[in-house]
Amino acid sequence: MKCRYCGGTRLQRRGRRGRDRQRVQCTDCRKWDTVFPQIGKVAKILLLDIETSPIIYPMWSLNQKNFSPDHIIRDWNLLSWAGWWLGRDEYVSAVLTPSEAKLGKDERVTRLVWELLNTSDVVITYNGNNFDLRKLTSKFMEYGLGKPDPFVPIDLYYYIKKNASFTSHKLDYINRKLGIETKQDHEGMPMWLKCMDGDKSALKEMVDYNVKDVEIMEGLYEKVRPWILNHPSMTQFLDDSKKSAHLCSVCLSENIELTSSKHRTKVSEFPIYRCNDCGVLMRGRKSVKNKTKLVLV
């Protein structure tokens, strides 16, 4: 396990918070953190990122506006993907072999990521609704794999743009602004071109870069989580014997409190609770105001 602030591995346990939550302190940067709750043990939550090759196309000018798919020299393909299991502190990844990369043959890695999505309950991405998941769906169609079993997609990019107005919405910029570990440095486009040429060291660097992206996405998810509207309830994955009215529906913490605010509909009011661990606001299910027949809706 690594410190999300400095990347250090020397973490000391300092007691517990709530339901199976471990407090830790990094001996390098001295910052405190709470080890991710048990949701990774009751639901399969995957942080996913993919890397693809660029499209090679002949151009007469940088101002060219008309493009024909008939003139494409080499279409895009998957280079690598990485997944980080939330709450389990482990990752899975796949990358093309040098021979596959030269030919743009990505069926093997596509089938592997399909199997991963097929077993996931929740998939967290950064701009995945516009890029990662759509690109993967294209490949699933191409290879006749069908649609994976249903999972709930959470696009952190979407919720950041919807709720905030940062100068840039690049993952590295957002993480730096929020004091979270940032992306791995690389040489830029030359690395992608080397991968397409089958360079073994470049492919290794690519998948390492890919893994780092999903690793740092975990800290971002924890920061953005209070603003994720309609976040899937983790209590639905619990056994009936473990369900409780005093559990946070998002992180399963018991450290929740009643606020003075109310959620109001046209005819009723509901109490609002705050989780002191993940910061999420939740609405109670029982109305605190009697319905009246005199109210028109």
* CA atoms of 145 and 148, how far apart (whole Å): 8
Do 141 and 185 lie in one domain? The reply is yes
Residue labelled with tokens 């999903």: 214
Looking at per-residue pLDDT, the higher value among 1 and 272 belongs to 272
Q: Which of 13-27, 145-159, 227-241, 242-256 has the lowest mean pLDDT?
A: 13-27
Q: What is the pLDDT of residue 290?
A: 63
The reply to whether 291 falls in a domain is: no
Check whether residue 5 and residue 62 sit in a common domain.
no
Is 109 found in the same domain as 149?
A: yes
- Integer Cα distance of 272 and 263 in angstroms: 6
The answer to the question of residue 289 being in a domain is no
| 115-125 pLDDT per residue, tens | 999 999 999 99
By CB atoms closer than 10 A (0-12, 13-18, 19+), residue 263 is: middle
Looking at the structure, tell me whether residues 130 and 98 fall in a common domain: yes
Residue 295, domain member (yes or no): no
Average pLDDT over residues 84-95: 86
Q: How confident is the model at residue 21 (pLDDT cuts 50, 70, 90)?
A: low
Give a yes or no: residue 208 inside a domain. yes
Rounded CA-CA distance 252/20 in Å is 9
Q: What is the pLDDT of residues 241-296, one digit of tens each?
A: 666 667 888 888 888 899 888 888 877 888 899 998 888 999 887 777 765 665 56
Angle at 226 between CA 223 and CA 228, to 5 degrees: 100
- Structural domain contains residue 292: no
pLDDT in tens, 163-209: 999 999 999 999 999 998 888 888 899 999 999 999 999 999 999 99
Residue 297 within any structural domain of the chain: no
Residue 274 dihedral angles phi and psi, to the nearest 5°: -120, 135
The pLDDT, as a whole number, for residue 19 is 44
Whether the pLDDT of residue 52 is over 90: the answer is yes
The predicted model gives 107-111 an average pLDDT of: 97
pLDDT tens sequence across 206-220:
999 999 999 999 989
User: Is 254 part of any domain?
Assistant: yes
Task: Say if residue 267 is in the same domain as residue 217.
Answer: no
The answer to whether residue 288 is domain-embedded is: no
Is residue 1's pLDDT more than 60? no
pLDDT at 13: 62
* Residue 215 in tokens: 């690793």
Q: What is the mean pLDDT of the chain?
A: 86
Q: Is 168 helix (H, G, I), strand (E, B) or coil?
A: coil
Range of the domain at 191: 37-227
Mean pLDDT of 94-99: 97
- For the chain, the domain total comes to 3
Whether residue 250 sits in one domain with residue 221: no
If asked whether residues 50 and 181 sit together in one domain, one would say yes
Greater confidence (288 vs 63) lies with 63
